Protein backbone atom coordinates (compact mmCIF):
# COMPACT_ATOMS: atom_id res chain seq x y z
CA UNK A 1 0.00 0.00 0.00
CA UNK A 2 1.59 3.30 -1.13
CA UNK A 3 0.29 5.26 1.86
CA UNK A 4 2.03 2.95 4.32
CA UNK A 5 5.24 3.01 2.26
CA UNK A 6 5.25 6.82 2.10
CA UNK A 7 4.62 7.14 5.83
CA UNK A 8 7.37 4.55 6.45
CA UNK A 9 9.82 6.73 4.51
CA UNK A 10 8.95 9.72 6.70
CA UNK A 11 9.30 7.54 9.78
CA UNK A 12 12.80 6.54 8.63
CA UNK A 13 13.79 10.21 8.40
CA UNK A 14 12.42 10.92 11.88
CA UNK A 15 14.02 7.82 13.40
CA UNK A 16 17.46 8.58 11.96
CA UNK A 17 17.57 12.11 13.35
CA UNK A 18 15.96 11.31 16.68
CA UNK A 19 18.28 8.34 17.26
CA UNK A 20 21.21 10.62 16.46
CA UNK A 21 20.11 12.91 19.27
CA UNK A 22 19.37 10.02 21.65
CA UNK A 23 22.78 8.45 21.16
CA UNK A 24 25.01 11.52 21.24
CA UNK A 25 23.20 14.31 23.07
CA UNK A 26 20.34 13.20 25.33
CA UNK A 27 22.64 12.73 28.35
CA UNK A 28 23.59 16.43 28.19
CA UNK A 29 20.17 17.73 27.15
CA UNK A 30 19.05 19.08 30.53
CA UNK A 31 20.11 22.68 31.25
CA UNK A 32 22.34 22.89 28.20
CA UNK A 33 21.51 25.58 25.65
CA UNK A 34 23.93 24.22 23.05
CA UNK A 35 22.21 20.84 23.08
CA UNK A 36 18.83 22.57 22.73
CA UNK A 37 20.12 24.26 19.59
CA UNK A 38 21.15 20.87 18.23
CA UNK A 39 17.70 19.54 19.14
CA UNK A 40 16.07 22.41 17.23
CA UNK A 41 18.27 21.82 14.17
CA UNK A 42 17.63 18.06 14.09
CA UNK A 43 13.90 18.56 14.62
CA UNK A 44 13.81 21.20 11.89
CA UNK A 45 15.68 18.97 9.46
CA UNK A 46 13.30 16.12 10.22
CA UNK A 47 10.31 18.41 9.55
CA UNK A 48 11.74 19.52 6.21
CA UNK A 49 12.33 15.92 5.11
CA UNK A 50 8.84 14.84 6.15
CA UNK A 51 7.25 17.76 4.29
CA UNK A 52 9.40 17.10 1.21
CA UNK A 53 8.09 13.53 0.84
CA UNK A 54 4.38 13.76 1.68
CA UNK A 55 1.55 11.29 1.15
CA UNK A 56 -0.82 12.51 -1.59
CA UNK A 57 -4.47 11.56 -1.03
CA UNK A 58 -5.88 13.53 -3.92
CA UNK A 59 -4.20 16.09 -6.16
CA UNK A 60 -4.14 19.01 -3.68
CA UNK A 61 -4.22 17.12 -0.38
CA UNK A 62 -0.91 16.09 1.18
CA UNK A 63 -0.22 14.48 4.54
CA UNK A 64 2.99 14.05 6.48
CA UNK A 65 4.26 13.28 9.99
CA UNK A 66 5.73 16.72 10.72
CA UNK A 67 3.83 16.79 14.03
CA UNK A 68 6.21 14.16 15.47
CA UNK A 69 9.45 16.23 15.25
CA UNK A 70 7.44 19.41 15.94
CA UNK A 71 5.99 17.94 19.13
CA UNK A 72 9.23 16.24 20.14
CA UNK A 73 11.31 19.38 19.62
CA UNK A 74 8.81 21.65 21.41
CA UNK A 75 8.23 19.43 24.44
CA UNK A 76 11.93 18.80 25.05
CA UNK A 77 13.32 22.05 23.68
CA UNK A 78 10.83 24.56 25.09
CA UNK A 79 9.20 27.76 23.86
CA UNK A 80 11.95 29.03 21.55
CA UNK A 81 12.35 25.69 19.84
CA UNK A 82 8.59 25.43 19.36
CA UNK A 83 8.34 28.90 17.81
CA UNK A 84 11.34 28.24 15.58
CA UNK A 85 9.87 24.98 14.28
CA UNK A 86 6.46 26.58 13.71
CA UNK A 87 8.00 29.39 11.68
CA UNK A 88 10.04 26.85 9.72
CA UNK A 89 6.90 24.88 8.83
CA UNK A 90 5.06 28.00 7.66
CA UNK A 91 7.97 29.27 5.56
CA UNK A 92 8.65 25.92 3.94
CA UNK A 93 4.96 25.32 3.27
CA UNK A 94 4.78 28.73 1.59
CA UNK A 95 7.83 27.78 -0.48
CA UNK A 96 6.07 24.58 -1.59
CA UNK A 97 3.07 26.59 -2.73
CA UNK A 98 0.55 29.12 -1.40
CA UNK A 99 -2.46 26.86 -1.96
CA UNK A 100 -5.27 25.84 0.39
CA UNK A 101 -2.83 23.56 2.22
CA UNK A 102 -0.73 26.57 3.15
CA UNK A 103 -3.70 28.24 4.86
CA UNK A 104 -4.65 24.96 6.51
CA UNK A 105 -1.11 24.78 7.92
CA UNK A 106 -1.23 28.32 9.32
CA UNK A 107 -4.64 27.81 10.97
CA UNK A 108 -3.67 24.40 12.37
CA UNK A 109 -0.52 25.81 13.96
CA UNK A 110 -2.42 28.87 15.22
CA UNK A 111 -4.91 26.71 17.10
CA UNK A 112 -2.53 23.91 18.13
CA UNK A 113 0.75 25.54 19.17
CA UNK A 114 -0.68 27.65 22.04
CA UNK A 115 -2.06 24.43 23.55
CA UNK A 116 1.23 22.56 23.01
CA UNK A 117 3.28 25.40 24.51
CA UNK A 118 0.91 25.64 27.48
CA UNK A 119 1.22 21.93 28.29
CA UNK A 120 4.98 21.98 27.68
CA UNK A 121 5.41 23.49 31.16
CA UNK A 122 3.53 20.57 32.71
CA UNK A 123 5.44 18.11 30.50
CA UNK A 124 8.77 19.39 31.83
CA UNK A 125 7.76 18.81 35.46
CA UNK A 126 5.90 15.53 34.90
CA UNK A 127 7.21 12.01 35.41
CA UNK A 128 7.64 9.41 32.68
CA UNK A 129 4.08 8.03 32.51
CA UNK A 130 2.49 11.48 32.62
CA UNK A 131 4.85 12.77 29.93
CA UNK A 132 3.84 10.00 27.55
CA UNK A 133 0.16 10.76 28.18
CA UNK A 134 0.66 14.49 27.54
CA UNK A 135 2.54 13.81 24.29
CA UNK A 136 -0.20 11.47 23.01
CA UNK A 137 -3.01 13.89 23.86
CA UNK A 138 -1.23 16.78 22.14
CA UNK A 139 -0.53 14.68 19.04
CA UNK A 140 -4.19 13.68 18.76
CA UNK A 141 -5.23 17.30 19.37
CA UNK A 142 -3.01 18.55 16.54
CA UNK A 143 -4.28 15.92 14.10
CA UNK A 144 -7.95 16.56 14.94
CA UNK A 145 -7.50 20.32 14.58
CA UNK A 146 -5.90 19.77 11.17
CA UNK A 147 -8.71 17.41 10.13
CA UNK A 148 -11.45 19.83 11.18
CA UNK A 149 -9.82 22.89 9.59
CA UNK A 150 -9.11 20.95 6.39
CA UNK A 151 -12.73 19.84 6.19
CA UNK A 152 -13.93 23.44 6.55
CA UNK A 153 -11.56 24.75 3.88
CA UNK A 154 -11.82 21.93 1.32
CA UNK A 155 -15.09 20.34 2.26
CA UNK A 156 -15.62 16.86 3.69
CA UNK A 157 -14.35 13.87 1.70
CA UNK A 158 -14.81 10.30 2.91
CA UNK A 159 -11.64 9.18 1.10
CA UNK A 160 -9.64 11.92 2.77
CA UNK A 161 -11.22 11.04 6.11
CA UNK A 162 -10.15 7.39 5.74
CA UNK A 163 -6.56 8.36 5.07
CA UNK A 164 -6.66 10.94 7.87
CA UNK A 165 -7.82 8.22 10.26
CA UNK A 166 -4.87 6.03 9.26
CA UNK A 167 -2.67 9.11 9.57
CA UNK A 168 -3.81 9.75 13.16
CA UNK A 169 -3.18 6.11 14.14
CA UNK A 170 0.32 6.23 12.65
CA UNK A 171 1.06 9.52 14.42
CA UNK A 172 -0.12 8.16 17.79
CA UNK A 173 2.03 5.04 17.43
CA UNK A 174 5.12 7.03 16.40
CA UNK A 175 4.71 9.58 19.21
CA UNK A 176 4.15 6.79 21.74
CA UNK A 177 7.26 4.96 20.56
CA UNK A 178 9.67 7.89 20.48
CA UNK A 179 8.43 9.52 23.69
CA UNK A 180 8.64 6.21 25.55
CA UNK A 181 12.09 5.58 24.10
CA UNK A 182 13.39 9.01 25.07
CA UNK A 183 11.97 8.80 28.59
CA UNK A 184 13.36 5.29 29.09
CA UNK A 185 16.82 6.36 27.97
CA UNK A 186 16.76 9.42 30.23
CA UNK A 187 15.59 7.28 33.15
CA UNK A 188 18.43 4.81 32.55
CA UNK A 189 20.93 7.65 32.38
CA UNK A 190 19.66 9.12 35.67
CA UNK A 191 19.87 5.74 37.39
CA UNK A 192 23.36 5.15 36.02
CA UNK A 193 24.50 8.58 37.19
CA UNK A 194 23.04 7.92 40.62
CA UNK A 195 24.81 4.56 40.83
CA UNK A 196 28.09 6.19 39.82
CA UNK A 197 27.57 8.93 42.40
CA UNK A 198 26.75 6.40 45.12
CA UNK A 199 29.79 4.31 44.23
CA UNK A 200 32.03 7.38 44.31
CA UNK A 201 30.60 8.50 47.66
CA UNK A 202 31.12 5.02 49.08
CA UNK A 203 34.74 4.95 47.92
CA UNK A 204 35.39 8.43 49.31
CA UNK A 205 33.83 7.40 52.64
CA UNK A 206 36.05 4.31 52.68
CA UNK A 207 39.15 6.40 52.03
CA UNK A 208 38.18 8.81 54.82
CA UNK A 209 37.62 5.91 57.19
CA UNK A 210 41.26 4.94 56.60
CA UNK A 211 42.51 8.44 57.42
CA UNK A 212 40.68 8.70 60.77
CA UNK A 213 42.37 5.81 62.61
CA UNK A 214 45.65 6.63 60.85
CA UNK A 215 45.60 10.14 62.32
CA UNK A 216 44.35 9.02 65.74
CA UNK A 217 46.98 6.31 65.98
CA UNK A 218 49.83 8.78 65.48
CA UNK A 219 48.26 11.55 67.57
CA UNK A 220 47.69 9.25 70.54
CA UNK A 221 51.24 7.91 70.24
CA UNK A 222 52.53 11.48 70.48
CA UNK A 223 50.46 12.10 73.62
CA UNK A 224 51.53 8.78 75.12
CA UNK A 225 55.18 9.77 74.70
CA UNK A 226 54.56 12.82 76.95
CA UNK A 227 52.70 11.01 79.71
CA UNK A 228 55.84 10.01 81.64
CA UNK A 229 58.06 13.08 81.24
CA UNK A 230 55.42 15.81 80.86
CA UNK A 231 52.09 14.53 82.20
CA UNK A 232 50.62 18.02 82.55
CA UNK A 233 51.44 18.79 78.91
CA UNK A 234 49.99 15.43 77.89
CA UNK A 235 46.78 16.33 79.71
CA UNK A 236 46.55 19.65 77.84
CA UNK A 237 47.13 17.97 74.52
CA UNK A 238 44.53 15.32 75.30
CA UNK A 239 41.96 18.04 75.97
CA UNK A 240 42.98 19.78 72.75
CA UNK A 241 42.56 16.53 70.85
CA UNK A 242 39.17 15.95 72.46
CA UNK A 243 38.01 19.41 71.42
CA UNK A 244 39.34 18.86 67.93
CA UNK A 245 37.56 15.52 67.56
CA UNK A 246 34.29 17.04 68.73
CA UNK A 247 34.38 19.83 66.14
CA UNK A 248 36.23 18.34 63.21
CA UNK A 249 34.93 14.80 62.69
CA UNK A 250 31.35 15.74 61.83
CA UNK A 251 31.17 14.96 58.10
CA UNK A 252 27.38 15.06 57.92
CA UNK A 253 27.26 18.84 57.54
CA UNK A 254 27.94 20.94 54.43
CA UNK A 255 27.56 17.96 52.09
CA UNK A 256 30.57 16.27 53.73
CA UNK A 257 32.70 19.36 53.21
CA UNK A 258 34.47 21.59 55.70
CA UNK A 259 35.96 25.07 55.48
CA UNK A 260 39.59 25.99 54.95
CA UNK A 261 39.48 27.61 58.39
CA UNK A 262 38.37 24.37 60.07
CA UNK A 263 40.94 22.35 58.17
CA UNK A 264 43.72 24.75 59.21
CA UNK A 265 42.57 24.50 62.84
CA UNK A 266 42.82 20.74 62.50
CA UNK A 267 46.34 21.10 61.09
CA UNK A 268 47.37 23.42 63.92
CA UNK A 269 45.96 21.03 66.51
CA UNK A 270 47.96 18.19 65.02
CA UNK A 271 51.13 20.30 64.80
CA UNK A 272 50.77 21.33 68.46
CA UNK A 273 50.71 17.67 69.39
CA UNK A 274 53.78 16.91 67.29
CA UNK A 275 55.65 19.99 68.54
CA UNK A 276 55.15 18.82 72.09
CA UNK A 277 56.98 15.67 71.12
CA UNK A 278 59.66 16.92 68.74
CA UNK A 279 60.23 20.39 70.17
CA UNK A 280 62.54 22.76 68.27
CA UNK A 281 63.21 20.13 65.61
CA UNK A 282 59.85 20.96 64.07
CA UNK A 283 59.25 24.39 62.52
CA UNK A 284 56.11 25.46 60.63
CA UNK A 285 55.40 28.37 58.28
CA UNK A 286 51.95 29.42 57.04
CA UNK A 287 51.15 31.39 53.88
CA UNK A 288 47.37 31.72 53.67
CA UNK A 289 45.82 34.09 51.13
CA UNK A 290 42.33 32.76 50.44
CA UNK A 291 38.77 33.03 51.69
CA UNK A 292 38.67 30.86 54.81
CA UNK A 293 35.00 30.06 54.20
CA UNK A 294 35.76 28.17 50.99
CA UNK A 295 34.60 24.58 51.24
CA UNK A 296 37.02 21.69 50.85
CA UNK A 297 36.93 17.96 51.65
CA UNK A 298 37.72 17.34 55.32
CA UNK A 299 41.04 15.77 56.28
CA UNK A 300 42.54 16.74 52.92
CA UNK A 301 45.43 18.88 54.21
CA UNK A 302 46.30 17.40 57.61
CA UNK A 303 47.47 14.01 56.26
CA UNK A 304 49.88 15.79 53.91
CA UNK A 305 51.31 17.78 56.82
CA UNK A 306 51.58 14.60 58.85
CA UNK A 307 53.34 12.85 55.99
CA UNK A 308 55.80 15.75 55.63
CA UNK A 309 56.62 15.68 59.35
CA UNK A 310 56.77 11.94 59.86
CA UNK A 311 58.51 10.84 56.68
CA UNK A 312 60.19 14.03 55.49
CA UNK A 313 61.54 15.84 58.56
CA UNK A 314 61.75 13.48 61.50
CA UNK A 315 63.89 10.98 59.62
CA UNK A 316 66.56 13.67 60.01
CA UNK A 317 67.93 14.32 63.51
CA UNK A 318 68.03 18.06 62.80
CA UNK A 319 64.37 18.13 61.85
CA UNK A 320 63.28 20.86 59.51
CA UNK A 321 60.52 23.19 58.32
CA UNK A 322 57.08 22.53 56.89
CA UNK A 323 55.60 25.29 54.74
CA UNK A 324 51.82 25.29 54.33
CA UNK A 325 50.46 27.48 51.56
CA UNK A 326 46.80 28.12 50.68
CA UNK A 327 46.27 30.64 47.88
CA UNK A 328 43.34 31.73 45.74
CA UNK A 329 44.35 31.52 42.10
CA UNK A 330 42.61 32.75 38.95
CA UNK A 331 39.57 30.95 37.50
CA UNK A 332 38.07 30.38 40.97
CA UNK A 333 40.68 27.82 42.02
CA UNK A 334 42.39 27.40 45.40
CA UNK A 335 45.93 26.04 45.33
CA UNK A 336 47.25 24.06 48.33
CA UNK A 337 50.94 23.38 48.84
CA UNK A 338 52.68 21.43 51.61
CA UNK A 339 56.47 21.68 51.35
CA UNK A 340 59.24 20.33 53.55
CA UNK A 341 63.02 20.52 53.46
CA UNK A 342 63.45 16.98 54.68
CA UNK A 343 64.99 13.87 53.16
CA UNK A 344 63.01 13.94 49.91
CA UNK A 345 62.44 10.89 47.74
CA UNK A 346 63.43 9.42 44.42
CA UNK A 347 61.18 9.49 41.37
CA UNK A 348 60.72 5.73 41.61
CA UNK A 349 59.58 5.91 45.22
CA UNK A 350 57.21 8.78 44.39
CA UNK A 351 55.57 6.72 41.66
CA UNK A 352 55.30 3.71 43.97
CA UNK A 353 53.53 5.79 46.62
CA UNK A 354 50.94 7.12 44.19
CA UNK A 355 50.26 3.59 42.93
CA UNK A 356 50.39 2.08 46.39
CA UNK A 357 47.94 -0.58 47.51
CA UNK A 358 45.87 0.56 50.49
CA UNK A 359 47.43 -2.13 52.67
CA UNK A 360 50.93 -0.82 52.12
CA UNK A 361 52.72 2.11 53.67
CA UNK A 362 52.41 5.53 52.10
CA UNK A 363 48.66 5.56 52.58
CA UNK A 364 48.61 9.32 53.25
CA UNK A 365 49.68 10.54 49.81
CA UNK A 366 47.89 7.74 47.96
CA UNK A 367 44.69 8.35 49.90
CA UNK A 368 44.63 12.10 49.27
CA UNK A 369 45.46 11.57 45.61
CA UNK A 370 42.57 9.11 45.22
CA UNK A 371 40.06 11.34 47.01
CA UNK A 372 40.93 14.42 44.96
CA UNK A 373 40.83 12.35 41.78
CA UNK A 374 37.36 11.03 42.64
CA UNK A 375 35.89 14.37 43.66
CA UNK A 376 37.54 16.77 41.21
CA UNK A 377 38.98 14.64 38.40
CA UNK A 378 42.53 15.76 39.18
CA UNK A 379 45.37 14.27 41.18
CA UNK A 380 48.03 15.72 43.43
CA UNK A 381 51.40 16.81 42.01
CA UNK A 382 54.58 15.80 43.79
CA UNK A 383 57.94 17.51 43.32
CA UNK A 384 60.75 15.87 45.25
CA UNK A 385 64.51 15.40 45.26
CA UNK A 386 66.55 13.24 47.60
CA UNK A 387 68.32 15.29 50.27
CA UNK A 388 66.44 18.47 49.35
CA UNK A 389 62.80 17.97 50.25
CA UNK A 390 59.31 17.35 48.93
CA UNK A 391 56.52 19.60 47.70
CA UNK A 392 52.94 18.35 47.33
CA UNK A 393 50.51 20.53 45.35
CA UNK A 394 46.85 20.20 44.50
CA UNK A 395 44.12 22.53 43.25
CA UNK A 396 40.38 22.45 43.91
CA UNK A 397 37.49 24.69 42.79
CA UNK A 398 36.67 27.55 45.15
CA UNK A 399 33.23 27.07 46.65
CA UNK A 400 32.28 29.31 49.56
CA UNK A 401 29.55 28.74 52.15
CA UNK A 402 26.26 30.26 51.12
CA UNK A 403 25.24 32.93 53.56
CA UNK A 404 21.77 32.51 55.07
CA UNK A 405 19.65 35.55 55.72
CA UNK A 406 20.38 39.21 55.02
Q: What is the pLDDT of residue 22?
A: 72
Strand-pair partners of 48:
none
Give the strand pairing for 333-340 and 389-397: antiparallel
Cβ-based neighbours of 332, under 8 Å, separated by 6 or more: 397, 398
pLDDT at 287 > cutoff 60? yes
Question: What is the enclosing helix (H) or strand (E) of 134?
Answer: helix 128-154
- What's the CA gap between 2 and 164, in Å, rounded? 14
pLDDT at 204 > cutoff 70? no
- Residue 279 C-alpha from the chain's centroid: 47
Q: What is the pLDDT of residue 53?
A: 87
In tens, the pLDDT along 85-129 reads 999 999 999 998 878 888 999 999 999 999 999 999 999 999 999
> What percent of the chain has pLDDT above 90?
30
CATH number of 227-397: 3.30.565.10
The confidence band for 47, taking pLDDT boundaries of 50, 70 and 90, is: very high
pLDDT at 169 > cutoff 80? yes
Q: What is the pLDDT of residue 361?
A: 46
Nearest of 326, 314, 311 to residue 390 by alpha carbon: 311
- What's the CA gap between 275 and 291, in Å, rounded? 27
The predicted model scores a pTM of: 0.57
Q: What is the pLDDT of residue 358?
A: 44
**Based on C-alpha coordinates, what's the Rg of the chain?**
33
- Hey, where are the domains in the chain? 2-193, 227-397
Nearest of 382, 385, 386 to residue 364 by alpha carbon: 382
- What's the CA gap between 296 and 92, in Å, rounded? 55
Q: Provide the Cα torsion 120, 124, 129, 135; round to 10°.
A: 20
Mean pLDDT of the residues in the chain: 82
Q: What is the pLDDT of residue 314?
A: 83
> What percent of the chain has pLDDT above 70?
84
pLDDT at 400 > cutoff 70? no
The confidence band for 404, taking pLDDT boundaries of 50, 70 and 90, is: very low
The confidence band for 248, taking pLDDT boundaries of 50, 70 and 90, is: low
Nearest of 300, 259, 255, 265 to residue 286 by alpha carbon: 265
The confidence band for 192, taking pLDDT boundaries of 50, 70 and 90, is: confident
Given a contact cutoff of 8 angstroms between Cβ atoms, the answer to whether 253 and 291 are in contact is no
| Greatest mean pLDDT range, 34-48, 126-140, 210-224 | 126-140
The confidence band for 48, taking pLDDT boundaries of 50, 70 and 90, is: very high
The confidence band for 341, taking pLDDT boundaries of 50, 70 and 90, is: very high
pLDDT at 402 > cutoff 60? no
Amino acid sequence: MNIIKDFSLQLAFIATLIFTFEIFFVERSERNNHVKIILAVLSGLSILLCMSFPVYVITDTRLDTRIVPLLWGTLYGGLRTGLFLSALIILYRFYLGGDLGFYTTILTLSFSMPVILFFQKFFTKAKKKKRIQIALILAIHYCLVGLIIGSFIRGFSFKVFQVQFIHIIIIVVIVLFFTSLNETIKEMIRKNQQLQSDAKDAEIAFLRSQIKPHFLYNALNSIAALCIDKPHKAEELTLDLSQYLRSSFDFKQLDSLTTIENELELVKAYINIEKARFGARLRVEYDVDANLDILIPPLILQPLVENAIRHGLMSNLRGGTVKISVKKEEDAVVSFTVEDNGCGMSGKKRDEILKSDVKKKGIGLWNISQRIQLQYGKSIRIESAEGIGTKVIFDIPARAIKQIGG
